[in-house]
Structure 1
Amino acid sequence: GALFLEFFKSSLGQTFLIAGVMALFGCLYCFLNITEPKKHDVICQKIRFHTIIDVLKQRSVILLTLPWFIVFMIIGAAMTFLTVSTSQGGILSISPILLSGIICGAGIVLITTQVIYGRLSDKYGRLPIMFIGAIGFVGVMTVLGIGYGLAPSTDGEAVKNSIIQFWPLLAIFGFMALAFGPSALSSLADEAQETKRGVTMAVYSIVISAGMFVGVPAVAAIFDQYGGPGVLFFMIGCAIAMLLLMIARYAQLRHQKKHPIIL
């Protein structure tokens, strides 16, 4: 996407055309390769407002979806904070080619780690792997904050170089942060009632969309008012909130073990 914006910056319509073709290909691939169960093989509730409210009344669903809201707020923050060189504003100026390379490499790592962490989640339980992911997010945000604070100036290149010097810590905490996705989604699927799985995933989709919707303008407002330090404090706060939600989830599971619900 960054490369398309760079190469077709004089004609942005071509970028959207290419994106549309890629999306159409993805839809056709899913349609031809994903087989859904027959209608009469499953019993489910229709996705209506009251069924969504019923799902949201489950404390476990709240504790498992709110972290995703925070994750996508952080993603929105990164999109605002890490701007490519062809755009205006922001702190870090990243060339489209470098950004594309980073995204490509991160995509390969993401695919690989999701399989690994998914298996670890099945073997050792959802919550321990989710804790690893939450700690990773806190670590990444903290290292970014330290790198920004130690930069000799607020110039984009100076900030970037200051952060890059901590690449070993960023790599370690980044690898840990990737543990959150597969374990959290698996845990959400475990908690979803058989007749409300579709509604539960609809709530998940609403939450991540809301995170992006809220995150970008929120970070933009914070940046305008408090600058880069404000954005970093906000992102660190989001990561700590994720960790607190994981602690609340641990407390809930512990309570359930002591006081099991007998049907």
Structure 2
Amino acid sequence: MGRHLLCALDNDKMIKLTTALCLLMLLAGVHSETPQGRILGGEEAANDATPYAVSLRVDNAHVCGGSIISASKLLTAAHCLYRDGKLIDSSRISARVGSPNQYAGGHVVNIASYSIHPDYDALINNLAVITLNTALEWTDRIKAIELTGADEALPAEGAEISVAGWGTTVDGVSSFRIRKINLTFASDAVCLDAYSDHDASSSFCLAHALKEGTCNGDGGGAAVYNDKILGVVNFVVGACGSRYPDVFVRVAGYSDWLQEQLLA
């Protein structure tokens, strides 16, 4: 990656990081030596393969991924809603739904408001729920995806987990279509080796081959297992596609808060 990208974190939050971390953000005005584009590896997804996935946009430019969790609610990462350490006004945020193309197709929907997890701090509790101005209408390409419940066990080590997004590619060529890849569930020991603050109740890691995995622009997207959101893309350790596993927020650890947001 050339340089570690620590996007828009306040200094007091940065000191809590025990390793060099790369946030999965692609925000206007944030520059690095890393080319912006799509998920490392994987392949272009079919038109109707990820009907829950949305391109989260600021000033109509893609910044992060997100997921439809009800007709009026989207799930993403809290860090996606910050610019230069400050929350972005909801009037500047929109989402493209119903299209694998981040530039065209589907519908661009406006945002009424958003809710950041109350205990969000740097990479911890990195979740946000967005409320749309108007409810979505379901089609083959626009569908909600269920959240994994608090009582559901984590997958076995080595289980395949699907991740999709419009983040950076290994060759640096920007893709207009969403890409999808299967990563593998990593053990707690592997996750702790990469990320010393790992807590299995609120995070998990997915292993991958070198030069594969999530990267800039994929933050906030979903890790899907058994047709449910298992986690939200949080960050990578070191550089995109490094030997370390990628780190995700475990949504089951936030079931109560997420249900409150769905009912709000």
Name the TM tier (shorter chain).
under 0.3
Task: Provide the TM-score with structure 1 as the length reference.
Answer: 0.23
Q: Which has the larger radius of gyration?
A: 1
Task: Provide the TM-score with structure 2 as the length reference.
Answer: 0.23
> RCO greater where, 1 or 2, for CA within 8 Å and sep 6 or more?
1
